[in-house]
Amino acid sequence: KRVSTYFTGFAAVHCEMAQPLCGRAREILIGSARRIDVKTHAEGTYVCMEGPQFSTRAESLMHRAWGGDVIGMTAMPEAKLAREAQICYGLVALASDYDCWMPHEHNKDKQALLKEIMGNLQAATDNCLKLIKAVLTGPADLVCEDCPCRNSLDLALWTDQSQIDPADKEKLKVLFE
């Protein structure tokens, strides 16, 4: 299991996660994608599952019933750790296939299916690299001091600081500076 907090064992920290991704980072990513004409979906719900594995058909159908648009394994705990570190965090999800809710053609060769998925991933990766370049060279200021992500720990620490071991405080002081 992946580590999901910097504060395990010595403090109760509950960052607000109603919107787990930074709104400003999202605007920059969407604007950059539109500027270079890379197809994006500006709205959607990401369902994160523990991997490494693919969904069962039952899980895939459940994720769709919940309103999930993208199923992946990599947005959590990264988004939570970024929020605890007060870092603006955006997500670029690279779609490779429809998950197992959409059955593949019964007569489709498994190697052909794998080749199709790998081709989709390569095309998505190429677009992602273009997008990263567009973000880094684009007109948007990537640093936003007044973004809510930058002060997400202000009300998140629920443990009385006098009860936290000084050595633990020292390890994480960079998060509170």
Q: Which residues are catalytic?
A: 97, 99
SS3 56: coil
Smallest Cα–Cα separation from 83: which of 152, 28, 133, 145? 152
Name residues whose C-beta falls within 8 Å of residue 80's C-beta, 6 or more positions apart in sequence. Answer: 4, 5, 15, 17, 20
Q: For residues 119 and 123, give the distance between their C-alpha atoms in angstroms, rounded to a whole number.
A: 6
Q: For residues 89 and 24, give the distance between their C-alpha atoms in angstroms, rounded to a whole number.
A: 9
**Which residue bears the tokens 């960052």?**
15
In this structure, what token pair is assigned to residue 163?
A: 């009860």
